Amino acid sequence: MANPTRFTPLQPESLYPADPKLILQAMQDRCYTASDRTLNDFSAASPITALYEGHLFAILELLYYANKLPSSMAVEFLKIAGIQRRLGKAAQVSLTFTLSAPLGSAFYLSAGYMVSDVSNTYNFTTDEDLIIPAGSIAGVVTATAENLGRNYNLPAYTIKNLSESRAFLQSVINTEPASGGIDEETEDEARARGFVALRRRGLTSADDYEQETKLLLGEGSVTKAVGLLAADKVSYEKGAVHVFGLNPDGTELNQAQINDLQSALRNSNKAPIGVLVYVSSIELVPLEVYAIASLLPGSNPEAIALTIYQRLQEYLQPGNLSLGETINLKELEFQVKLAGVDLVQSVSTHTDQDISYADIQLPNSYSAAYLFDLTIDLVLGSENFTYSYGEGGDLD
């Protein structure tokens, strides 16, 4: 059995006293002793108490700011090193514009054309001119969110509204999710990222590439670097590094993000000469899970079912398990058991018409499973309760 050495962050010693009242009491005791008990009135209205409280206030103010000195010096050091706090990033998406009919000449839509989601809340503008050739009916162009943040990471098929009508322009749709939006970074997050960046002097190991990609994608993203893996993700290529990523919200990288990441990693001054960097999205494997369990008398079936769903969803959240790791059904049973059931009768997975009680082998080392659909049968006495969660609907 492995016995790894364990670590914990260093805790700086605080210069600020835990209880200022103890210092005031010590000052009064010293005054009383040094004056041979002549100065003995330390009531709230005493001039001595007022004087000492004023002194103590000044001392505590000094200690308060002295305690901030190391942190302030660290920030100044990071500023000199060129580390900046990230204000966020705008989401990007690929849009498909469709004409009402093929035209005899090319259709032009200039860059900066605005579209929005079905609620007209989130706006996107096209990044470049769209040209639909004569005889074609549709064209694809990338677009960027109007503002920064994760709120613009919209699901597929939700961007449908045109900002203004154009002759022959019929519709717009996003066939893949908008992704890449990152929220503003806190001061603590910026400091932690800065020191990690300083410790990583170059892109040498797989961990270096993974950490660099996480910095580009944002806090909470999932990354994996595979050495010598070519662009086709099958063959091997000398000098190649293939980096796989997943957005902080668990969505796959879109093509615009892949292009940006690949360019950033290839053109980084930390990258060794002669290394070919490829970027792809982590392969997500949807799981349809079916669980049967019996309940203790007096249990609330609906509450238990929701707890089971939440536990399984959290356990299968991409990034919580190592990429490519086999999904052990016994672990899924354990998560169901922790929800408070009496007995877990079975946990199985479904693929099309097939039912499996075997552990789930993921196809690649860069694959991650996630809970796509869950059906739960709960038995309470003579009654049976069925609940469904997720996106898959009917398992059949």
Of 136, 158, 173, the position where a domain reaches its end is 173
Structure tokens at 3: 């016995």
Residues 324 and 353 in one domain: yes
* Within a domain: 367: yes
Whether 298 and 378 share a structural domain: yes
Q: What b/e readout covers 137-157, taking b as 16+ CB neighbours within 10 angstroms? A: eebebbbbbeebbbebbbeee
pTM score, whole prediction:
0.63
Q: Let me know whether 244 and 293 are in one domain.
A: no
Q: Which of 232, 263, 281 is the last residue of a domain?
A: 281
Q: Are 249 and 225 spatial neighbours (Cβ–Cβ below 8 Å)?
A: no
Q: DSSP state, 254?
A: -
Q: What is the domain extent for residue 275?
A: 201-281
pLDDT in tens, 141-167: 999 999 999 899 988 899 999 999 999
Tokens 């086999």, located at residue: 326
Ranges 3-12, 292-301, 363-372: which has the least confidence: 3-12
- Ramachandran quadrant class, 393 (left: phi over 0; alpha: psi -120 to 50; beta: rest): left
Q: Are 104 and 63 in the same domain?
A: no
Same domain? For 313 and 274 the reply is: no
**57 and 126 both lie in a single domain:** no
Number of structural domains found in the chain: 4
> How many Å separate Cα 332 from the centre of its chain?
23
**pLDDT at residue 393, rounded to an integer:** 47
Q: Which of 155, 173, 191 is the last residue of a domain?
A: 173
208 assigned to some structural domain? yes
Name every residue whose Cβ is closer than 8 Å to that of residue 115 and which is 6 or more positions away in sequence: 95, 123, 124, 125, 126, 143, 159, 160, 161, 162, 163, 172
- Closest to 160 in 3D by CA, of 109, 123, 111, 107: 123
pLDDT at 4 over 70: no
Structural domain contains residue 300: yes
Determine, yes or no, domain membership for 188.
Answer: no
The yes-or-no verdict on residue 394 having pLDDT over 60 is: no
pLDDT over threshold 50, residue 137: yes
Same domain, 222 and 236: yes
pLDDT band at 351 (very low <50, low <70, confident <90, very high): low
Helices within the chain (DSSP H only): 20-34, 47-67, 69-80, 187-199, 206-217, 255-266, 301-315, 329-338
Please list the residues that pair with 360 across neighbouring strands. 327
Q: Is residue 82 part of a domain?
A: no
Give the pLDDT band of residue 18 (cuts 50, 70, 90).
low
Dist CA 251 CA 154 (whole Å) = 10
Claim to verify: residue 212 and residue 143 sit in the same structural domain? no
Q: Is residue 151 part of a domain?
A: yes
User: How distant is the alpha carbon of residue 49 from its chain centre?
Assistant: 54
Residue linked to tokens 């038995």: 379
Label residues 190-223 b or e (16+ Cβ within 10 Å = b). Answer: bbebbeebeebeebeeeebbbbbbbbbbbeebbb
Question: Does pLDDT of 140 surpass 60?
Answer: yes
Do 161 and 107 fall into the same domain?
yes
pLDDT confidence of 3, banded at 50, 70, 90?
low
62 shares a domain with 49: yes
Judge if 276 and 296 occupy the same domain: no
For residue 369, the model assigns a pLDDT of: 93
Cα 320 to Cα 169: distance, rounded to the nearest angstrom: 44
Q: Residue 237 burial (CB < 10 Å; 0-12/13-18/19+)?
A: middle
Q: Where residue 395 falls among pLDDT bands split at 50, 70, 90?
A: very low
Least confident of 258-267, 300-309, 346-355: 346-355
**182, part of any domain:** no
Same domain, 116 and 162: yes
Kindly state the tokens that stand for 77: 């050091």
Measuring CA to CA, which residue among 225, 377, 207 is closest to residue 291? 377
Tell me if 141 sits within 8 A of 114, measured CB to CB. Answer: no
pLDDT in tens, 82-99: 888 989 889 999 999 999
| CA–CA separation, 261 and 287 (whole Å) | 28
The full DSSP string for 137-191 is -EEEEEEEESS-SGGG-PPTT-EEEESS--TTEEEEE-SS--B--BPPPPHHHHH
Question: Is 194 a residue whose pLDDT tops 80?
Answer: yes
Judge whether 395 and 386 are in contact, CB under 8 Å.
no
At residue 128, the pLDDT reads 94
User: What per-residue confidence (pLDDT) applies to 396?
Assistant: 39
- We report the CATH number of the domain holding residue 224 as 3.30.300
Q: Is residue 36 included in any domain, yes or no?
A: yes
Q: Which of the 8 DSSP states describes residue 361?
A: -
Q: What is the pLDDT of residues 286-313, one digit of tens each?
A: 999 999 999 999 999 999 999 999 999 9
